[in-house]
Structures are given as C-alpha cells and as structure tokens.
Amino acid sequence: MEKKKRSKVIPFPNLKDRYIEKGMDLLKEKKYHEALNMFSEAKKLKEDKAELHLGMAICFMELGELAEAKEICKKMLLEDIGHYFTVLQIYLTILIQLREYREVQTTIEAVLEENQLPAESAEHFYKLLEFSRKMTQNDEDIMESDDEEQPLYIEDILENTNKQMAYIQSLRDRNLSKHFSSLKLLLENPNSHPMIKSMILHLMIENEVEKEVTVYKFGETVTVIPAQLDDLSDLPFTKKVLTILDDTLGNENPTLFEAVKELWIRHLYVLFPLLPKPTDANVWAAALHMVGYEMHGITLDPEEIKDLYNLSMSSLHEACKKIYQIEEISYMQI
C-alpha cells in the first residue's frame, strides 16, 4: 500500500515578525482583541520576543483579564524577558488593580534585597512599598474585626488616615445610607487625605448616591452629585491628553505609553473630582512624556519635548512638578 505523502506547510518568510508588527499597530489603535489575535498567531509559530509577551499582557490588562496579564508579566520577570523595570511597573499596576497588596509588598522587597533598583526610581518604589504594607495591614485589621456593626465615633477617625482607610474598606457591599453623614464629614474635612476622598466618591458612584455632597480638596470646594460623575477614563479631557500622547509616545514606545497611561489615571484619581490646571491637554501630554521616561531612568532633553509639543519651558516644568507632587501624595500617609 502506497504511503501517503506528508504535506509540509512552509510559512511565509518573516511571518512571525509581521504578526508582531501588525499586533503592535492594532495595540496603538486600541483594538485589543484583534491585537491579541495577532500576538497569539506569532506565539503559535514559536516566537518568543519580549515585545510579543508584553503586547499580550497589555491586551489582557486592557480587556480586564488581569489574571492572564499578571501571569505573563510574572513569567517575564522570572525569566528576565524584556526591560525589567518596565515589566515590573506594569506587573505592580496589575497587582494593585487586583488588590493583591501582599504580592506588591513581597515583589518590591525582593527587588530591594537584590539591590537592583535604579536611583531614579528608588523613591517611587519605596513609597509604593509603604503603601502596600499599610493596605495589607488594613485588610488584616478588617478581617480581625467583629462582623457585627460597631458604633462609629467620627471624631476618632477624622485625624487618622489609617482608620479612615479601614473604615471605607469596611463599607464595601454595605448600605451607605447609615454612613452618609460620616462620609460627608470626611469629604468636607480639610485634613482628610485626598486619596481617601477619591475612594469615598467612587464608593458613592458605585452605590449611585444622588444626594449632593461638598468636597474640599487642594484649597478648592466643589459640590457634586456622585451618581452624575463620569468615570475618569471617560472624561473628554482625559481622552484628549491620551490621544495626543499616543500620537507621540505611543508611536515611539508603546510599552512605556501603557505605563504612563496608568500614571495619568492615578494622577486624575488623586485630584478627582477636580481637573488638572491648566486645562491644556498638550501641556499634560508633554509632562507625562517627560516624567514617564525619567521614572524609567532615562533623561530627555526638555527643549526637545518643548518643541515636540509646541509649548513654553515654564509650562512644561510646572506640569512635571505637579505630576511628581501628586505622585508623592498618592503614596503618602496611607
């Protein structure tokens, strides 16, 4: 009996590279499902480039598949695939979204023990470490507390950020109506941490609170109805800044763009419900471009950024300064 000839499929030359290139183009266009398909095709052809792994991680992260994104980044870190600190930053961002603060803590501690931290990024990671430690402690405090409703004396927590954090976390999946007055006091209190106020507002948004509340933040007082507040990522101003940044940094370094996007959302979260001033999207895109590289240990020429975004040196420096100040606040005293 004649043996059947085995057919051999010969792939087109450089097909793997073409899949990755197409995937990166789709990633820039925010077509995450299509981009993921391209990266998956490249992976089937035994491609193992760092660009492929990180591209898949970013797609999974944007699609809300955080567990998959986490596993890819963890593998990259363990096997030293790609730029270590860029992958680390994205990995930590994913862990924070998953509220896996203990893993954030142990990861940063391991990096510090190996003494691998660039000097430019040291302060940022130390603050993130302190934040994760306190969040872990708050989670433990809540688990150890009695499940029964405890009487709240608002005076006890007005001056204590850790108690405020634990109190707000304890309200998740509970009826806010009994706590509305206490939450209002925290929003109006000049000494409440800005992050605490943002957490309260987002808790109220999740619970569709339609009563007016007054928020005192960074010297300003605003009155809002939480149920009518837009999600940060849906704000026209947010989108405009990211669109400008995508056309510059996104084309130049898509991976760094994703990390900087998280920085921008965090910046807005601390300010929420206020918007950065000036409300010039070009200024903030330029500052994020500059700060993004600096946080990854790469120094850029300010003149080059100033010319790229067509703005004054003073406005660039001022916006960069504000980003660093808000970044410090986001990890301070929590």
The larger pLDDT score, comparing residue 194 to residue 148, is at 194
- What pLDDT, in 10s, does the model give residues 13-32? 467 788 888 888 888 888 88
Question: According to the model, what pLDDT value does residue 161 have?
Answer: 78
* Structure tokens, 135: 């969040």
Q: How far apart are CA 250 and CA 28, in angstroms?
A: 7
Among 140, 144, 150, smallest CA distance to 182 is for: 150
Using pLDDT thresholds of 50, 70 and 90, give the confidence band for residue 235: confident
Q: Are 89 and 259 in contact (CB under 8 A)?
A: yes
Q: What is the mean pLDDT of the chain?
A: 82
Between the alpha carbon of residue 56 and those of residues 53, 85, 159, 258, 296, the distances in Å are 5, 17, 44, 12, 21
The larger pLDDT score, comparing residue 187 to residue 173, is at 187
Using pLDDT thresholds of 50, 70 and 90, give the confidence band for residue 46: confident
Q: How far apart are CA 177 and CA 325, in angstroms?
A: 34
Amino acid letter for position 149: E
Query: Can you give the residue ranges of every domain in the chain?
Result: 11-82, 145-229, 233-331
Between the alpha carbon of residue 216 and those of residues 4, 186, 189, 197, 219, the distances in Å are 79, 9, 7, 9, 7
* Enclosing H/E stretch for 115: none
Question: According to the model, what pLDDT value does residue 139 have?
Answer: 53
- What pLDDT, in 10s, does the model give residues 126-151? 777 877 777 776 555 444 444 444 44
- Give the residue-averaged pLDDT of 269-275: 92
Using pLDDT thresholds of 50, 70 and 90, give the confidence band for residue 331: low
Amino acid letter for position 274: L
Q: What is the CATH number of domain 233-331?
A: 1.10.472.10
pLDDT above 50 for 7:
no
Question: According to the model, what pLDDT value does residue 126 have?
Answer: 78
Question: According to the model, what pLDDT value does residue 288 have?
Answer: 95
Question: According to the model, what pLDDT value does residue 296 have?
Answer: 78
Q: Are 244 and 281 in contact (CB under 8 A)?
A: yes
Q: How far apart are CA 178 and CA 55, in angstroms?
A: 45
220: number of Cβ within 10 Å = 11
Q: Are 275 and 237 in contact (CB under 8 A)?
A: yes
Between the alpha carbon of residue 154 and those of residues 183, 193, 194, 291, the distances in Å are 9, 15, 18, 39
Q: How far apart are CA 301 and CA 316, in angstroms?
A: 12
Poorest-confidence range of 5-9, 207-211, 216-220, 285-289?
A: 5-9
Backbone angles phi, psi at 6, to 5 degrees: -75, 130
Question: According to the model, what pLDDT value does residue 182 have?
Answer: 85
Using pLDDT thresholds of 50, 70 and 90, give the confidence band for residue 271: very high
CATH C-level class of 11-82? mainly alpha
Quote the DSSP letter at residue 134: H
Question: According to the model, what pLDDT value does residue 114 have?
Answer: 75
